[in-house]
Amino acid sequence: DTEVTQTPKHLVMGMTNKKSLKCEQHMGHRAMYWYKQKAKKPPELMFVYSYEKLSINESVPSRFSPECPNSSLLNLHLHALQPEDSALYLCASSQDGGGGYQPQHFGDGTRLSIL
């Protein structure tokens, strides 16, 4: 079983809906990540939180809003999404120490479909 837990596993929503994706880890990691992955493509980084502060935003549209309430939790709030936002959304975490040494550990992902 993965040590990074994502809920829900699947989500279908309309373009006017508001929903949230949740991610939780209890490994004591201090960096958490959101990725978007389209079919047959590698994951694309969206956001990075380091010590509960947003450190990287890869020019993601404002209809995606991340939140890190504490060091174990990461949310992604969704509003007014477009059909092209349908994808697998992956959460990951890594230990502190930086320098690119620490591997990222991924959750199972949320499969999002926008109607």
Partner 1 sequence: AQKVTQAQTEISVVEKEDVTLDCVYETRDTTYYLFWYKQPPSGELVFLIRRNSFDEQNEISGRYSWNFQKSTSSFNFTITASQVVDSAVYFCALSEPYGGATNKLIFGTGTLLAVQP
Q: Which spans of this chain sit near partner 1 (rule: CB under 8 A)?
A: 2, 30-31, 40-43, 45, 48, 50-51, 55-56, 88, 90, 92, 94-109, 111
Radius of gyration (C-alpha) of the chain in whole angstroms: 13
- For residue 45, give the nearest of 37, 24, 8 by alpha carbon: 37
Nearer of residues 14 and 97 to partner 1, judged by Cβ: 97
Taking residue 17's Cβ as centre, other Cβ atoms within 10 Å add up to: 14
Taking residue 66's Cβ as centre, other Cβ atoms within 10 Å add up to: 20
What is the DSSP code string of 63-102? TEEEEEEETTEEEEEEES--GGG-EEEEEEEE-S--TT-S
Nearer of residues 55 and 82 to partner 1, judged by Cβ: 55
> Shortest gap between Cβ of 16 and partner 1 (angstroms)?
27
Nearer of residues 67 and 80 to partner 1, judged by Cβ: 67
Task: Round to whole Å and give the CA distance between 6 and 27.
Answer: 14
Nearer of residues 61 and 98 to partner 1, judged by Cβ: 98
> Shortest gap between Cβ of 102 and partner 1 (angstroms)?
7
> Shortest gap between Cβ of 97 and partner 1 (angstroms)?
7
> Shortest gap between Cβ of 74 and partner 1 (angstroms)?
13
